[in-house]
């Protein structure tokens, strides 16, 4: 099991000024950077697709509401067919890239360096 | 006796019996971990199904097809907005949240800042979101009971709350998860059969859309059920276009932002990621839930189109026609099921609708009971609480919530389900979404920043929904996410920048939630 909950100490940690904060250790920084960078790129790509639909609907309505297959318009196809697939494709790409990174981390560091959650 | 033999009654009784059996099998919760997070023992398939069960509520099962039937393209756009959120949750929150590994949503803030005040603020927001979300589910359940079994609204609320108290109180997270997973497949099975029946009946997507688009005039056979005694007019070209629900471009964008980011902040969905054995399983659970939700939304929109096509054809049983006119949007899925597959398919859809209500409500009950028992009682009133007492407190909290939600359900009689669900999503998007995204990825976030974000986001979203008419016209959004989400994010950022006092152990926290895992973890 990856981790288990334990009670918190509300007073021990205290606070410091943000300027006194030490940099994160290189490994955590690398993991965070890798995860955030991948997530952000996928999110930007996803939101460009998401927001393109209403933008095109309102500003290129003639094209978006013209028929492409039977009575299905481009807009209907993008919104109710492609968008559903896109939600899964983005999440699948993220999970695949995460697992690839995980394998790389394991290859590059021995078991003694692996942190376990307490 | 004759009523007992009707398919809708038989299948509903079968569902109830299965729930009772699963709850009985899962009743042993020896530890708080068993009770609140199911012993963190659920693999990605079960948990993915349960997340899907939690997310795809009655409002989704009955509502999306109903909205598509009523609003056409704008109804389909609703489904599109709901389909986005789980993906963002999987990208930014699912893995780190599981690595954190606590019991409740408020635990995250309490641990991140070592703060009871932050925990208290989070509890208030959890209860607000859960209340706003539970009310429309109860309203839907009471309406379904009233429509199909002729019971009163009040009976419907009391019955549903009683089932929930039994189901969640005895089964805890274990029973709830197993029931949610089963209930999801009942709903998906009902949709699959409906889609199969529609295609078998020749109702192909592109062909019926073309027929609807070309329809302009009065719908034959509707005059017998309208108040003015005239056939209902319909213009298919308007229905297949946009502007039926979103009067402006900015209204569309605001709803897209509010609904897509709202999922990240829903407490009952966030809680589900604590029940996986590892962060890897949490990500896979999310992936599975996204796959299920995508298929579900695709089917729901298609069935809304099928419902409209059947209605326009006028070639349906007069009872179905009456239900579609008098019953409103929530009757579209049941009526279409009856038209496509008769009483048995209708019975399965009704059982599916109950499954949707129970599944979603049980998630809300578990999330809120954790907030009351674990976050409030065990933290503020009984510090040295034992495991057994924590479980008992959780069960007592379920009873209290059953009563509170019941009262809330009685108060919202006649309210719009969509309005209340939108409120829950807007509050979640403006409060927990900024807190979780910034809390997981930004070390500079402070306790005061987090509390400011929660309070400002909550107040802004409630004001913009409840007192919409007091605002200038350009700010009167149906879903005010475009305004309230940036308010939430900016409040956290600005107050944190001014405060500058970050927890001394924030680096340890970041290590914990971003640590790599072994494959076995």
Residue A4's pLDDT band (cuts 50, 70, 90): very low
Residue B28 pLDDT: 64
The answer to whether B518 and A110 have CB atoms below 8 angstroms apart is no
Nearest Cα of chain A lies from the Cα of B409 at a distance, in angstroms, of: 32
* β-pairing verdict for B232-235 and B216-219: antiparallel
Task: Quote the radius of gyration of chain A (alpha carbons, Å).
Answer: 23
Helix (H, G, I), strand (E, B) or coil at A15: strand
Residues of A in contact with B302 (CB under 8 A): 80
Other C-beta atoms closer than 10 Å to the C-beta of B363 total 31
Nearest Cα of chain B lies from the Cα of A37 at a distance, in angstroms, of: 11
Query: For the segment B355-402, what is each residue's pLDDT rounded down to a tens digit?
Result: 888 888 888 888 888 888 888 888 888 877 787 888 888 889 999 999
CB–CB contact A84 B519 (8 Å): no
Of A35, A76, A87, the CB nearest to B83: A87
Q: Is B509 left (phi over 0), alpha (psi -120 to 50) or beta?
A: alpha
**What φ, ψ does residue B511 adopt, rounded to 5°?**
-60, -40
CB–CB contact A61 B241 (8 Å): yes
Residue B104's pLDDT band (cuts 50, 70, 90): confident
Chain B residue with the nearest C-alpha to that of A72: B206
Other C-beta atoms closer than 10 Å to the C-beta of A25 total 12
- CA distances to B233, B302, B312 from B216, rounded to whole Å, are 8, 21, 10
Chain B residue with the nearest C-alpha to that of A17: B501
Mutation for testing the A interface, residue in B109, B119, B264, B515 having most A CBs under 10 Å: B515
CB–CB contact B301 A70 (8 Å): no
Residue B418 pLDDT: 67
CB–CB contact B240 A76 (8 Å): yes
**CA neighbor of B50 nearest in space, from B155, B187, B150, B221:** B187
Token digits for B170?
């005895």
Q: Which of A67-76, B154-163, B362-371 has the weakest average pLDDT? A: B362-371
**What φ, ψ does residue B6 adopt, rounded to 5°?**
-70, 140
pTM score? 0.86
The DSSP bridge partners found for residue B235 are B216
Q: Give B271 or B508, the one with higher predicted confidence.
A: B508
Mutation for testing the A interface, residue in B87, B118, B386 having most A CBs under 10 Å: B87
Residue B282 pLDDT: 77
Question: Which secondary-structure segment (H or E) carries B424?
Answer: helix B417-430
Does B433 have pLDDT greater than 80? Answer: yes
DSSP string for residues in B70-138: HHTHHHHHHHHHHHHHHHHHHHHTHHHHHHH--SSHHHHHHHHHT-HHHHHHHHHHHHHHHHHHHHHHH
Q: CA angle B228-B234-B238, nearest 5°?
A: 140
**What φ, ψ does residue B72 adopt, rounded to 5°?**
70, -125
Q: Indicate the burial class of B214 (C-beta count within 10 angstroms; 0-12, 13-18, 19 or more).
A: exposed
Chain B residue with the nearest C-alpha to that of A113: B516
**How far is residue B276's CA from residue B43's CA, in Å, rounded to a whole number?**
6
Residues of A in contact with B285 (CB under 8 A): none
DSSP state of B324: H
Mutation for testing the A interface, residue in B95, B514, B519, B521 having most A CBs under 10 Å: B514
DSSP state of B374: I
Query: For the segment B304-358, what is each residue's pLDDT rounded down to a tens digit?
Result: 999 999 888 877 777 777 777 776 777 788 888 888 888 888 888 888 888 888 8
Cβ within 8 Å of residue A20, ≥6 positions away: none
CB–CB contact B87 A46 (8 Å): yes
- CA dihedral (B86, B90, B92, B98) in degrees, to 10, reads 120
Taking each helix axis as running N to C, give the angle between helix B73-92 and helix B279-313, from 0 to 180 degrees, rounded to the nearest 10. Answer: 180
Token digits for B222?
């509707």
Chain A residue with the nearest C-alpha to that of B77: A79
What domains, with CATH codes, occur in chain B?
Answer: 3-24+31-225+250-514 (1.20.1730.10)
Q: Give A96 or B168, the one with higher predicted confidence.
A: A96
Other C-beta atoms closer than 10 Å to the C-beta of B90 total 29
Can you tell me the mean pLDDT for B448-471?
92
Domain range summary for chain A, segments of one domain joined by +: 28-107
Does B173 have pLDDT greater than 80? Answer: no
Residue B484 pLDDT: 95
Helix (H, G, I), strand (E, B) or coil at A116: coil
Cβ within 8 Å of residue B342, ≥6 positions away: none
Residues of B in contact with A87 (CB under 8 A): 83-84, 86-87, 290, 293-294
Q: Is the dihedral of CA B222, B225, B231, B234 positive or negative?
A: negative
Nearest Cα of chain B lies from the Cα of A86 at a distance, in angstroms, of: 9
Residues of A in contact with B240 (CB under 8 A): 65, 71, 73, 76
**How far is residue A90's CA from residue B39's CA, in Å, rounded to a whole number?**
30
Residues of A in contact with B90 (CB under 8 A): 91, 94-95
Residue B37's pLDDT band (cuts 50, 70, 90): low
Compute the count of residue pairs across chains A and B with CB atoms less than 8 Å apart. 221
**How far is residue B186's CA from residue B184's CA, in Å, rounded to a whole number?**
5
Residue B78's pLDDT band (cuts 50, 70, 90): confident
**How far is residue B173's CA from residue B180's CA, in Å, rounded to a whole number?**
10
**What φ, ψ does residue B273 adopt, rounded to 5°?**
-75, -10
Other C-beta atoms closer than 10 Å to the C-beta of A80 total 26
CB–CB contact A71 B278 (8 Å): no
Chain A residue with the nearest C-alpha to that of B238: A65
CB–CB contact A102 B517 (8 Å): yes
Token digits for B1?
């006796």
Residues of B in contact with A42 (CB under 8 A): 91
Token digits for B235?
């213009």
Does B441 have pLDDT greater than 90? Answer: yes
**How far is residue B364's CA from residue B165's CA, in Å, rounded to a whole number?**
12
Question: Which secondary-structure segment (H or E) carries B224?
Answer: none
DSSP state of B221: T
Residue A9 pLDDT: 46
CB–CB contact B260 A50 (8 Å): yes
> ipTM score of the complex?
0.85
Percent of chain B with pLDDT over 70: 94
For tokens 């009163």, name the residue. Answer: B152
CB–CB contact B210 A71 (8 Å): yes
CB–CB contact A91 B205 (8 Å): no
Mutation for testing the A interface, residue in B516, B519, B521 having most A CBs under 10 Å: B516
Of B91, B101, B242, the CB nearest to A117: B101
Residue B243 pLDDT: 76
**CA neighbor of B376 nearest in space, from B360, B396, B362, B361:** B396
CB–CB contact A28 B514 (8 Å): yes
């Amino acid at each position: 099991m990856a981790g288990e909950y334990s009670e918190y100490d509300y007073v021990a940690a205290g606070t410091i000024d943000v300027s006194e904060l030490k940099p994160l250790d290189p490994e955590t920084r690398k993991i965070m950077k890798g995860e955030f960078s991948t997530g952000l790129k996928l999110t930007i790509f996803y939101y460009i697709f998401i927001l393109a639909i209403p933008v095109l609907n309102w500003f290129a309505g003639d094209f978006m509401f013209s028929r492409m297959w039977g009575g299905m318009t481009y807009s209907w196809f993008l919104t109710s067919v492609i968008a559903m697939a896109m939600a899964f494709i983005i999440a699948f790409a993220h999970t695949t890239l995460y697992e690839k990174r995980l394998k790389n981390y394991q290859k590059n560091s021995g078991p003694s360096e692996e942190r376990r959650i307490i | 006796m004759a009523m007992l033999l009707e398919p809708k009654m038989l299948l509903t009784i079968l569902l109830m019996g299965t729930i009772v059996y699963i709850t009985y099998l899962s009743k042993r919760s020896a530890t708080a971990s068993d009770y609140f997070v199911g012993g963190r023992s659920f693999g990605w398939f079960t948990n993915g199904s349960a997340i899907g069960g939690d997310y795809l509520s009655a409002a989704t099962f009955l509502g999306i097809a109903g909205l598509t039937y009523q609003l056409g393209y704008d109804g389909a756009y609703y489904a599109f907005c709901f389909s986005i959120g789980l993906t963002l949750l999987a990208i930014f929150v699912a893995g780190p949240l599981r690595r954190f590994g606590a019991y409740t949503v408020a635990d995250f803030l309490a641990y991140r800042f070592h703060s009871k005040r932050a925990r208290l603020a989070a509890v208030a927001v959890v209860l607000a979101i859960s209340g706003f979300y539970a009310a429309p589910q109860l309203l839907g359940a009471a309406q379904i009971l009233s429509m199909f079994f002729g019971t009163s609204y009040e009976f419907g609320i009391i019955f549903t709350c009683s089932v929930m108290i039994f189901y969640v109180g005895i089964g805890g997270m274990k029973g709830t998860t197993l029931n949610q997973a089963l209930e999801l497949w009942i709903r998906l099975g009902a949709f699959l059969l409906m889609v199969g029946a529609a295609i078998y009946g020749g109702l192909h997507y592109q062909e019926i859309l073309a027929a609807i688009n070309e329809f302009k005039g009065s719908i034959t056979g509707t005059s017998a059920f309208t108040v003015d005694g005239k056939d209902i007019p319909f213009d298919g070209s308007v229905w297949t276009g946009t502007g039926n629900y979103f009067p402006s471009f900015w209204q569309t964008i605001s709803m897209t932002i509010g609904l897509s980011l709202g999922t990240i902040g829903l407490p009952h969905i966030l809680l589900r990621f604590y029940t996986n054995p590892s962060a890897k399983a949490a990500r896979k659970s999310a992936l599975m839930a996204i796959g299920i939700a995508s298929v579900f939304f695709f089917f729901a929109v298609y069935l809304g189109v099928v419902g409209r096509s059947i209605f326009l054809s006028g070639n349906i049983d007069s009872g179905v026609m009456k239900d579609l006119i008098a019953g409103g949007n929530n009757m579209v899925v049941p009526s279409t099921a009856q038209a496509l597959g008769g009483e048995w398919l209708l019975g399965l859809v009704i059982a599916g609708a109950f499954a949707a209500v129970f599944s979603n409500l049980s998630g809300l009950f578990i999330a809120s009971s954790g907030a009351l028992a674990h976050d409030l009682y065990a933290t503020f009133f009984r510090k040295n609480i034992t495991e057994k007492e924590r479980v008992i407190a959780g069960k007592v909290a379920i009873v209290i919530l059953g009563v509170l939600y019941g009262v809330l359900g009685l108060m919202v009689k006649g309210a719009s389900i969509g309005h209340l669900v939108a409120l829950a999503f807007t509050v979640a998007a403006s409060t927990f979404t900024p807190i979780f995204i910034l809390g997981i990825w930004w070390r500079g976030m402070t306790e005061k920043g987090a509390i400011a974000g929660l309070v400002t986001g909550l107040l802004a979203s409630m004001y913009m929904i409840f007192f919409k008419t007091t605002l200038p016209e350009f700010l009167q959004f149906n879903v005010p996410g475009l305004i309230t989400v940036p308010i939430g994010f900016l409040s956290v950022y600005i107050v944190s920048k001014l405060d500058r006092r970050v927890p001394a152990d924030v680096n340890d926290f970041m290590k914990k939630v971003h640590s790599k895992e072994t494959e076995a973890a």
